[in-house]
Amino acid sequence: MQQHIRGFGWRCPLAAIVSIALGTGPGALASEPSYTFHYGVSGDEAGSIDLGGAPIERDVFMFFEHTLGLYPRIDQQNGRWINGGLPQRADLDAHLGACLNEILEAIPDPEWDGFVVIDYESWTPWWEDTPRRYRNATIEDLRERMPYLTDEELETIGRQEYEAAARQLMEGTIDLGRALRPEARWGYWSYPKARHALLGDNEQTQWLWDASDAFYPSVYMTDYLVPDWMEPGLGQARYETYIESDFDGNLAVARQVAGPDRPVLAFAWPRYGRNNENQWYRLHLIEHEHLNLMLFGPYFWDADGVILWDNLPQPGIANAFQEYVDEEIGPMTRQINDYVVEQDQQNEEERIPQDVNSDGSVNTSDLAYVISKLGTDDELADINGDGIVDTSDVISVINAFTG
């Protein structure tokens, strides 16, 4: 389990991040880093990329709406209803049957222990959060079946039907994946977002957090940062918005719901993009300082690492990405890795064994953690290192806490 102790706290300025990542570095150290990089690139040419010895693991598998099951959705361009369109109109049994076959084919090794990211993004399972077209379609579908309902009743029943079906589909999909490949760490792309903390009581969202083995919050730069040469003044003007929403927001909520035992891997796409008519720079690979923010920034928000994603459907795009890996991603991940390993080593030397969460003091949180691990071989809770967490470890924490 990663120790979440970072030296900069919240809202770390870009200048501080850049100055650290671009320093000379201590050189590679022997210990495993607590903050890691992972290759999740998709497309026909994804396998052609040579990482050149960069500290990036190839241990990510991506499933998309069109590659996992019979995911219901409404086409945003033409309004066509696909696989029932709405979660409550989907054939759940057929969906899970298709998922079963596709998971077994895509991940043939039953003991594979990498990260699985399910990218279901057309709708979300919460009424207030999902795109309006799904709410409108739900109400109209219900009106056809029950024309005698009032608008208020349509809204109430529609919400109940929608959220129940959405939950069944998302829980069922991830539960099936875990049953088939239990060593893998399953989660949904871009969950949670900062706004999910505002949806009401925790019970409304807790079921999805409980179902997830890992969390993959997005740190895409879409809509926020573009270089000044592309759109003068926009990058600096939106920098604070980007930090508050995609870093200080998404990553903070992800760390909170993940707790200390489940990994948070920021999902990074190193390209600029916008969701309006100005699409001409959408495929530009992001510039040096923005890449550094994307790859290194999550470290200061207690993330466990970064998944690097892109889509490489053609050799020409892959060739340009290979050059980017050679000149930018490779050197930068090596420098960040050197820094992280050195910090880990310093933290370990300074750590008090009874301070299991490394928050700087021995307190009831440490005691509760050790008690929760009684009878296991958890390395952090095994204070005396005898291979088993028992009452002697609990007493050790109590003594450090009280005296």
Span 163-190, pLDDT tens digits: 999 999 999 999 999 999 999 999 999 9
In angstroms, how far apart are the furthest CA atoms of the chain?
Answer: 72
Q: How many C-beta atoms lie closer than 10 Å to residue 228's C-beta?
A: 11
Span 228-247, pLDDT tens digits: 555 555 555 566 666 666 67
Q: Is residue 370 a contact partner of residue 356, using CB atoms and an 8 Å limit?
A: yes
Average pLDDT in the 262-289 region?
76
At 114, list the tokens: 């990498």
Span 38-54, pLDDT tens digits: 999 999 999 999 999 99
| CA dihedral for 224, 226, 231, 236, sign (positive or negative) | positive
Would you state the pLDDT for residue 224?
Answer: 55
Nearest in space to 328 (alpha carbons), one of 57, 56, 16, 114: 56
Nearest in space to 46 (alpha carbons), one of 365, 313, 253: 313
Would you state the pLDDT for residue 244?
Answer: 64
Peptide bond into 260 cis (omega under 30): no
Q: Which H or E element spans position 266?
A: strand 265-268
Average pLDDT in the 274-295 region?
71
Average pLDDT in the 344-360 region?
80
Q: Is residue 196 a contact partner of residue 274, using CB atoms and an 8 Å limit?
A: no
Length of the chain: 403
Q: Is residue 141 a contact partner of residue 89, using CB atoms and an 8 Å limit?
A: yes
Strand partners, 273: none
Would you state the pLDDT for residue 126?
Answer: 95
Model confidence at 350: pLDDT above 90: no
CA separation, residue 24 to residues 20, 143, 152, 331 (Å): 9, 65, 63, 11
Maximum average pLDDT range among 1-15, 173-187, 228-242, 356-370 = 173-187
CA–CA gap between residue 110 and residue 143 (Å, rounded)? 46
| Residue, of 80 and 249, whose pLDDT is higher | 80
pTM check: above 0.85: no
Would you state the pLDDT for residue 13?
Answer: 42
Would you state the pLDDT for residue 37?
Answer: 98
Phi–psi pair at 306, nearest 5 degrees:
-135, 135
Q: How many C-beta atoms lie closer than 10 Å to residue 260's C-beta?
A: 16
| 260 Cβ neighbours under 8 A, 6+ residues apart | 1, 4, 357, 369
Model confidence at 303: pLDDT above 50: yes
Maximum average pLDDT range among 68-77, 230-239, 350-359 = 68-77
Map out the domains of the chain with their CATH numbers: 14-354 (3.20.20.70), 355-403 (1.10.1330.10)
CA–CA gap between residue 138 and residue 159 (Å, rounded)? 8
